[in-house]
Amino acid sequence: MKRIIAIDYGKKRTGLAISDPLRMLATGIKTVDTEKLVWELKQVFLEYEVATILLGHPKNLDGTATDITEKVEKVHSQLQKLFPDKQVLLWDERYTSKMAFQAMIDSGLKKKDRQNKALIDEMSARILLQGYLDGQR
């Protein structure tokens, strides 16, 4: 079975996570400069067989658009055009950053390590993808 890649899109940094071939577990890959996202995706696609791109869809708690929602929707359209052989899905990403930060606390990471925003972005992508995978079972 082909894998799913998740994207936690940000203005500066973007977190990436990928599923295992059985689509049971999500693993963080890395955090990339948002400007290099397409290039990084192409590199991931050379290494892994990916069928689906899961793009975090940011919303406020009340379901309204955030300051970056429109940009993410444009990226969604761009990815559909650039990668027509892949399914590109928008997936609600509310709470993922908070859950990632809490997971870092629960795992015992020191305060200095928890301030690493790149790590939070990667964990957010992993949490986003794991939530999707769990919901598909």
pLDDT digits (tens, 9 = 90+) for 112-137: 765 667 777 888 899 899 999 998 87
Q: Is the pLDDT of residue 104 over 90?
A: no
Cβ–Cβ under 8 Å, residues 14 and 97? no
Q: What is the pLDDT of residue 113?
A: 63
- Could you tell me which of 44, 55, 39, 57 has the C-alpha nearest to residue 2? 44
Task: Report domain extents, the chain.
Answer: 3-136
> Over 90: is that where the pLDDT of 30 sits?
yes
Biggest alpha carbon–alpha carbon distance for the chain: 42
Which of 7, 11, 73 has the alpha carbon at shortest distance from 40? Answer: 7
Model confidence at 45, in pLDDT bands (50, 70, 90)? very high
Reported as a pLDDT band with limits 50, 70 and 90, residue 91 is very high
Percent of the chain past pLDDT 70, that is, above it, reads 84
For residue 28, what pLDDT band results from cuts at 50, 70 and 90? very high
Q: Judge whether 59 and 39 are in contact, CB under 8 Å.
A: no
Number of Cβ within a 10 Å radius of residue 95: 14
Q: Which two tokens stand for residue 32?
A: 């990339």
Fold that domain 3-136 belongs to in CATH: Nucleotidyltransferase; domain 5 (3.30.420)
Angle between helices 96-106 and 117-136 (to 10 degrees): 110
Say which residue the tokens 């940011």 belong to. Answer: 58
Mean pLDDT over each residue of the chain, to the nearest integer: 89
Tell me the pTM: 0.88
